[in-house]
Structure 1
Amino acid sequence: MNASNVNFSDVLIIIIVVLAIILALLYYFNKVSMRKMVQAQDFIDNNRTTVQIFIIDKKQEKPSPSNLPKAVYEQMPKTSKMRKANLVRAKVGPQIVTLICDKPVYNVLPVKKMSRLT
């Protein structure tokens, strides 16, 4: 087949097939990630406890080994390491820890005050 004999319809069919494959892959990966999110939420709901904490500081910054425990930082996915996260330094019992929290929780937490969290 000569390069000048390639029809527009042949190119269009190839593009449609490639787009269909890409959409199928995106659907599959979205389904897998949703399943993981549901499992994580079930784990959180089963292990929920009420704790009093003193919020020392809240920041939105990229996670690093200096502001998170080394073991936590190493287990994070690469994409999470590149994004800004909602980090809260708090005193839980006798320990001062850095926590990663969701946006709605981050917005509600008061700084320099005791909070009771479930």
Structure 2
Amino acid sequence: MPVWAILLIILVIMIAVFAFLYYYGKKMQTKQEENRAQLEAAAQNVSMLVIDKKRMKIKDADLPKIVMEQFPKRYMNAKMPIVKAKIGPRIMSLIAEEEVFDLIPVKAEIKASVSGIYILSIRNFRNAEVAPPEKKGFLAKIRKKQSELLKKDK
């Protein structure tokens, strides 16, 4: 078989894969926009006292059992931004958006837009200064991972 025929077959396969990914990406984007619109429609402004925030696995996050059952199994071990907050008399675990998670101050009262157990945005802070998160360099991230691996080995 000539080389040009093999290259032509590879080119056709690559075009088919890219076309599929384009179509699938568009479909997922419209689905995400619809879900986002539903979340925005159901959002309520809530005043809360943030107790703690960290990235942790869903199964360790102490979320309600109903939420755990509805969560896809493939995301159970993925780390999510979890915020523990006191809303009224109750202490709840909430899931924050990635952009919002870095802005949330710990041990401070905030007003946030919440839909169910999902923090969509922060409206205002009360008596809290939010320091911008420090950007870590590539080498700092590698050193941190290396030290974590060494701690696990011991």
- In structure 1, stretches of 5+ residues that fail to align are 1-5
Aligned to 1:48: 43
Q: Which has the higher contact order (CA 8 A, sep 6+)?
A: 1
Structural mapping, 1:1-118, within 5 Å: 6-64=1-59, 67-118=62-113
- Give the superposition deviation at 1:66: 5.2
Tell me, yes or no, if the aligned pair for 2:53 and 2:83 is still in contact at 8 Å: yes
Larger displacement relative to structure 2 (57-66 or 107-116): 57-66
**What is the rounded CA distance, in whole Å, between the counterparts of 1:29 and 1:62 in structure 2?**
28
Aligned 8 A contact 1:65 1:73 in 2: no
Shift of 1:79: 4.4
Q: How many aligned positions are there?
A: 113
SS state at 1:105 partner: helix
Q: Which has the larger radius of gyration?
A: 1
Q: Post-superposition shift, 1:65?
A: 5.3
Q: CA deviation at 1:67?
A: 2.9
Gaps of 5+ in 2: 114-154
- TM-score where L is the length of structure 1: 0.83
Provide the TM-score with structure 2 as the length reference: 0.65
Task: State the alpha-carbon separation in 1 of the partners of residues 41 and 61 from structure 2.
Answer: 31
Q: Which has the higher strand share?
A: 2
Question: Partners of 1:42 and 1:57 in 2: how far apart?
Answer: 28
CA contact (8 A) 1:68 1:98 kept: yes
AA aligned opposite 1:48? A
Deviations 1:2-30 (A, max 9, x none): xxxx1111211111111111101111111
